[in-house]
Structure 1
Amino acid sequence: MALIITDECINCDVCEPECPNGAITQGDEIYEIDPDLCTECVGHYDTSQCVEVCPVDCIPKDPEHEETQEELYAKYQRITGEE
């Protein structure tokens, strides 16, 4: 499933540059993750890079966007154009 940034975000700016899919952007109040671009770093890394660098642990899985590893990998393939 895609990830989501909660309102515990302190806008520290460390997650945005870590996202290989460009899924993280600055929202009105806090950073936001586009679920159409978030693959939890499947295809790029073994772990979600934004979660790894977040100092306040505010990036859980988004229950509104449940996806299997296979679905995340298929999304990665669509985003990157890899077969």
Structure 2
Amino acid sequence: MWIEHSNKLTRTFTFADFREAFVFMTKVAELAEAQGHHPWWSNVYNKVTIELTTHDAGNVVTEKDYNLAEAIDIIHRKSS
């Protein structure tokens, strides 16, 4: 579940292992590049944490972030 806090939309995803986490990150990277909207993220073994905020709007959460979050959720559902 995405949580909006401190002008960021955040979610942590958990996978079976590092490889699955990395495959997910690769798919999200391709999506983000296509949308021109790049997340902040971190990866430790099987966990990927993503933070979304719109820099052009002054580092606040916008519809652009919610749209990307929804698309990321679709990728996650397909990879589960």
Normalising to structure 1: TM-score of the pair?
Answer: 0.41
- By percentage of residues, which structure has more helix? 2
- By percentage of residues, which structure has more strand? 2
* Greater relative contact order (CA < 8 Å, ≥ 6 in sequence): 1
Normalising to structure 2: TM-score of the pair?
Answer: 0.41
